[in-house]
Amino acid sequence: MTIKTLIIDKDKTFVKGLKYSLEEDDYTVEVAFNIRRAMEKIKNNHYDLIILDIVLPDGNGLSLCRKIRQKSQIPIVILTEKEDEISEILALDSGADDYIVKPTNISVFKARLKAILRRVNIDDRKASKQIIRIGDFVINALGRRLTVNGKSVTLTAKEFDLFYLLVSHPGRVFTREELLKSVWGFEYYGDIRTVDVHIRRLREKIEEDSSNAEFIHTKWGVGYYFKQKESSKTED
């Protein structure tokens, strides 16, 4: 199955090499060198993956990331020369699924892309059709959709996987290391604080009061766990 990919980067030489490398692995690659052209392509095409730089000629790539995320759950990978932690946190807050600093080992880069794509069922055709209902939550595992009180909530691929893992094991406390291993996989080499950023974003999306969480709780000094209401029942 080919993976239709859009690379958004101002560096034409770099893009040429990355495009060639990805096409060796059955990716179908289109490119855009600025935000304006990228928006045109996204409006008129369906993509399975977006690879996005932060610094672009006509604006900030993170602004584009936020715009895409408002309308789509497509995986977005930030690939940039900006190595500071603040940029990484801002990227994750903007809805990116991963943050990779140039230059990167192409084999490692491809492995991380595959890990992301597996989790959004592009190359995992054995996904369950299970529908889980827990209280106010309805989780469609196949469609990777979540509704809360009948209202659709848009989650990134990593947010969905993180929430699904916690919901599937109510009451079990996961350490940050366990969550990194289960959700991000062995290919992830980032900061463990990535988990905290994603937990915060999840709370902001599903909790009435994210500062006083009702569902996703912190076990201080250990990790995180999901607590369902006493009256809630899980249905398959």
| pTM, full prediction | 0.60
Kindly report, residue by residue over 172-195, the tens digit of the pLDDT.
899 988 888 888 775 555 677 888
**What would be the CATH architecture of the domain defined by 3-119?**
3-Layer(aba) Sandwich (3.40)
Determine the pLDDT at residue 1.
Answer: 63
Kindly report, residue by residue over 108-157, the tens digit of the pLDDT.
899 888 888 877 654 444 444 467 777 778 887 767 788 888 788 888 88
DSSP 10-64: S-HHHHHHHHHHHHTTTEEEEEESSHHHHHHHHHH---SEEEE-SEETTEEHHHH
Kindly report, residue by residue over 53-92, the tens digit of the pLDDT.
999 999 999 999 999 888 787 899 999 998 888 888 888 8
Cβ–Cβ < 8 Å for 3, 117: yes
Q: Considering the domain 131-226 in this protein, what is its CATH number? A: 1.10.10.10
Domain ranges of the chain: 3-119, 131-226
DSSP 71-101: H----EEEEES---HHHHHHHHHTT-SEEEE
